[in-house]
Amino acid sequence: MMLTMASSPHNHSHKSLSQLMMTVIAACIPGVLAQVYFFGFGVLIQLILALITVSIAEAAVLKLRNKPVAATLKDGSAWLTGVLLAISIPPLSPWWIIVIGCLFAIVMVKQLYGGLGFNLFNPAMAAYVLLLISFPVQMTAWSPVESLLSNPLSLANVTNAIFLEHSLTGASLESLRMTIDGTTMATPLDSIKHAVDAGKTVSEAMTSPVFDTYAGLGWQWVNIAFLTGGIFLLVRKIINWHIPVAILLSLGISSAIGYLIAPGQEPGAVFHLLSGATMLGAFFIATDPVSACTTNKGRLIYGAGIGLLTYLIRSHGGYPDAIAFSVLIMNMAVPLIDHYTQPRVYGHGGKTS
């Protein structure tokens, strides 16, 4: 959904809310396929669980509020929230993780504030932060890419692991995430942070097999896939360019400056841009028209703030990937930013003769 502040005459886009939401979900497909390729079938199972949960939660609350259920569900906003949350959590997370997250996103963050258009925060990211703070072990237990696993998981084993927290043979989730050299690995962002804290240089840390040429093995291609989907949204004019460009420029410039100041402790701009949820956050999360700024100047400030906060939290904070925290912090600043960036009304402030 795109909201453009402009003077009259206004031209309707001729796209329904449902069409806009479905287009955004379709644009996620390249990134989802990349995640499935590198991290396995768990991504698809989490997606199915998320879509079922958000549909039930949305319908239940709408029924309690005496609102039309079928028409509201068809707008696709709840499904988009479920998709964004499902692809943000580790694929082998227990089933109750995604269920709790989806219930919180729909019931507490969206419907409690009045439904679509009234929520102050991005529902998917608010739910992600709730899960990360409440269940840090499950939410940080990302598996390495399947090529590094000692025993690649079948669909049956993945399903068993998600619902029963062990494989068909009784192996624990920890052993299922074990690599071919007998160790379990953190995400690339987490690996870099722990290595630098332990006194290693970035170059030494990136000798680990979890890394590829420019960023984490698999992660750089996932980010490129979401970048492809984001460009599609820009071409279709579903989103404006201001927020994603501001985020990527701000994050790139901040990380480049950090690299120039401390090259041994900072991985540089390319690594940050192709790591974690950077592209997903820039094109699919931060551009949420309800919780983001509505003016073009405000969108640039909003995006630049997200990019800067992402770099600062990644480099100096306690959480390796900071997209969710950065988006929520800037969500709180949206009313203030919009207040001071509203375009001046024609004739306002002019002198009278």
Strand-pairing partners, residue 172, are 166
Higher-confidence position of 154 and 14? 154
pLDDT mean over 318-347: 88
- Residue pair 126/80 in contact (Cβ under 8 Å)? The answer is no
Residue 309 CA to chain centroid, in angstroms? Answer: 15
Which residue, among 168, 174, 141, has the nearest Cα to 154 in the 3D structure? 168
Q: Is the pLDDT of residue 172 over 60?
A: yes
CA distance 137 to 284: 26
**Whether pLDDT at 343 is above 90:** no
Distance CA 57, CA 333 (A): 29
Q: Output the CA torsion sign for 23, 64, 122, 7.
A: positive
Mean pLDDT of the chain: 87
Mean pLDDT for 26-42 is 95
181 — pLDDT class (breaks 50, 70, 90): very low
Decide which of 72 and 148 is more confident.
Answer: 72
Q: DSSP letter at 142?
A: P
**Cβ 218 vs Cβ 39: under 8 Å:** yes
Percent of the residues in the chain that have a pLDDT greater than 90, as a whole number: 58
For residue 159, give the 3-state DSSP assignment: helix
Nearest to 252 by CA among 267, 233, 230: 267
3-class secondary-structure state, position 84: helix
The DSSP 8-state label assigned to residue 147 in this structure reads: G
Q: What confidence score (pLDDT) does residue 71 get? A: 82
Q: 246 is written with which tokens?
A: 């501001």
Please give the pLDDT value at position 8. 42
pTM: 0.88
